[in-house]
Structure 1
């Protein structure tokens, strides 16, 4: 009878050790949820203030005088083709209204117009090599 009790105790300890070892392995592997998924959008920087900008999307081209308009007027005029971008997380010194840019962001907040925080950006050159070769 004692051998039976000892074998049950050893078997139980073995199972507890296996479960504890598996928990350690699961906690050391990187979680899929921690990986960052970025989305992108391309457009023209229509307006830029200190930490906020307006990105004109959907292949729309503003008129020259539009760059002089106030922020609220631009939002009313282009509301369905705009993204309000928070530029606080990027170096925005080289950004100027009228530039074509591509932005990367994690989430697009549903509002009118939609809003997002830019994680990174790059300027888009329309003719990168044609004019450099001539």
Structure 2
């Protein structure tokens, strides 16, 4: 009976040790950058290239090598979202100076987090104009 308790204690200690090793490995911030707004939040930057489909109250980036039709210029925002919903990112441009941006430009945007909405949403941290229309 004493040997049985010893084996269980040894097994229990081994399981705890493995759990602690895995826990420490999962919290390693290696290879990530810190978010400038929240110093404790660790994120990795993402980028997407696409065409600025709409600039205004709602900014839309058309991705996945889709090209809008000329007739899309006259569509209201909710109709554009419905038409291209699988190929859009709704962008928040409040953190960048977006005066240079205009509808129809091919741009690359960087963001830290892509919200899982439909269509997805992101706050742009920086952008690069690749080609004007």
**TM-score normalised to structure 2 length:** 0.66
Say which structure is richer in strand: 2
CA shift, 1:96, in A, is 0.5
Other-structure match for 2:87: 81
Instruction: Report the Cα distance in structure 2 between the residues aligned to 1:35 and 1:82, rounded to whole angstroms.
Output: 27
- Alignment pair present for 1:71 and 2:70: no
Which consecutive residues of structure 2, in runs of 5 or more, have no partner in the other structure? Answer: 1-28, 36-43
SS in 1 for 2:131: coil
Say which structure is richer in helix: 1
- Alignment pair present for 1:92 and 2:92: no
**Matched pairs, number:** 95
CA shift, 1:40, in A, is 0.2
Which consecutive residues of structure 1, in runs of 5 or more, have no partner in the other structure? Answer: 1-30, 127-134
Instruction: Report the Cα distance in structure 2 between the residues aligned to 1:54 and 1:87, rounded to whole angstroms.
Output: 10
Other-structure match for 2:15: none
Superposition CA RMSD, Å: 1.7
Other-structure match for 1:38: 45
Larger Rg: 1
Deviations 1:19-63 (A, max 9, x none): xxxxxxxxxxxx76762421100000000114x310000000000
Instruction: Report the Cα distance in structure 2 between the residues aligned to 1:105 and 1:34, rounded to whole angstroms.
Output: 12
